[in-house]
Amino acid sequence: MRIKDLREDHNLTQADVAKILRIKQNTYSQYENGQRQIPLHCLIALAKFYKTSTDYILGLTDKMNTDA
């Protein structure tokens, strides 16, 4: 998953993203570290926030933007 790279590219802390997702920072940290699977609703929220696709976040495509 690319959630750590996206977060760092946007100069955000784990706490910043956790606040956006309305979860605890340590829960978000577990998503980044692969210790816990990210729920679908959080994945979708991140895709909307970063204006990218869930496929990009999951590493299924290298195309960051969803524009045709």
Hey, what domains does the chain have and what are their CATH numbers?
3-58 (1.10.260.40)
pTM (2 d.p.): 0.90
Q: Name, in order, each residue with C-beta under 8 angstroms of 57's C-beta and a sequence gap of 6 or more.
A: 1, 2, 3, 6, 43, 46, 47, 50
Q: Are 29 and 14 in contact (CB under 8 A)?
A: yes
Instruction: Encode burial over 50-67: b for 16+ CB neighbours within 10 A, e otherwise.
Output: bebeeebbeeeeeeeeee
Cα separation, 25 vs 32, whole angstroms: 11
- Each residue's pLDDT tens digit in the chain (68 positions)? 899 999 999 999 999 999 999 999 999 999 999 999 999 999 999 999 999 999 999 999 999 886 64
